[in-house]
Structure formats: C-alpha cells, structure tokens
Structure 1
Amino acid sequence: MNSMNTNEKGYTLIELLAVVVILGIISAIAVVGIGQLINQSKERAFVSQALHLKEAANLLITSERVKNPDSIPSKVTYETLLQEGFLEKIKDPFTGNFIEPNSETTVSAQNGRITKVCLHGEEYLLCEAPSDLKTENIQPK
C-alpha cells in the first residue's frame, strides 16, 4: 500500500518568512539601542576627562600656592599639566586619538579656585564652570 501521509509536520515558507521578519525588526531595535548606549558612554567619558583636567589643575594650583603664595596661576594649560606630570595625555573618546596639547584646552582659576574648564577634543568641546561639566553641555566644534 502506497498511500501519502497528509499529516506531515513542518513549517511553511510563509511561517519561516514571518520569523525572519520578526527577528529583523528585533535586531534593528537592538542596534539602535546599542548605538545610543555607546554614544552616551563616549559622552560620559568626555565629561570624565574634563573632570580629570580640572583635578590636575587644582593639584598644580595647590602646589604653586605652597611654593609661592603670591604667584597663583589664573590659567593652566593642558600642555603645562602634561609637562609638570600632573596629567597623562587625554584620549578623545569620540575618535580614539590622543588630544594634542593646544592653547584651547585650559583651566581658568580666580584666587586659586577653578572657575572654568575648557576641553577641546577633535570633534567636540566642553567649556563650562566645574558645576556644569555635564554631557548635555558637550557641543560639536
């Protein structure tokens, strides 16, 4: 007896296509979400670099105050912090390159207190009072 079994189990092409489409939609949502997380972490790293710049300048100012109380610097450059050993080279989280010392990346102070931190990366900058060093204040160059 040669009879066809009409009760075969399996998936139709339409069912497989539906699964592939659903997986594609889920993947697209995940990629967008991961992209946003990566960008947010880069922004937080940039703010963290600005805070390190501020703390290094604070150490330099304190050191200078101990050496010569009459000569407290009002502006500290990134280059000075590197030369004096208060800071290592800053890596730009957006590009992965080290930020070269320049006249734009500075910390300003008044009477020994930090008043403004300006970190200039390759694509973005953050130039604010210490209390305003936040991701929402990062600006494109």
Structure 2
Amino acid sequence: MPMTELHSAVNPPTSRRRYSAQFKSDAVQACLAPGAVIAHVARQLGINYKMLGHWVNRHRRQLAQDKPAFVLWSPSEREPIPDQALSSPPQMHREPIRVSCSRGNQQVRIEWPVSDGQQCAEFLREWLR
C-alpha cells in the first residue's frame, strides 16, 4: 500500500471550522480585558489558543496601522510668539479636554480638566494599548 493511502486511511481529512467576524471580535475583546490570559479565554471558548493569539496579534497590527501619524509642527519664523503667550496663563475657567475614541466594539468619551492634561494622556495611552 502506498504511503498516501495509508496516511489517508489513518487520518481522514477533517473539515476546518469557520468563525464569524463577530465571534472573532468578541474573542479578541475578551483577551484585551485587564488581566485576561489568551489561553484561558481560548479554553473557555473551546478554541485553540494559538489561533486566538493570531487573531489578537492581527487586531493589534490593525490598530497600529490605524493610528494617526504624528505631525511635527513648529511656528513660522515670520510670526513671533507674543511675550504674553509665554507667560503663565490667567487662572480662568477653561474648557475641559474632550476626547471620543473607539476601539473595536468599545467606545469611550471623556472630559478631563485642562490642568490635568498629562494624566489624560496617560489614561488614553493605557486604554489604547
């Protein structure tokens, strides 16, 4: 008996399971939750952890491609910055920082005091990671 016949008799071909985009998205979001472990999520869903890891990596690569590019800006030499703008700003009520972001099925809208802009940036950096 040729090797191919023996192999096919011992290991009959199996059909590949197909997963919907919604299932994949939900599985990836479960993996992105704080403290989530891909292997545990995969076990709960009854799927292979390596396959789920590929889905998570693909999602992260897609997010990296979707990030807006950083644009370097510098003031024109023809437009000097007035000395008033360089001094400390008056303590007036200023509009808060308003940000709306979406990531997969998650959406967040925040308002943050301008005085705590660094904390706002840290929050967004952690959330988008």
Report the TM-score when normalising by structure 1. Answer: 0.31
Larger radius of gyration: 1
Report the TM-score when normalising by structure 2. Answer: 0.33
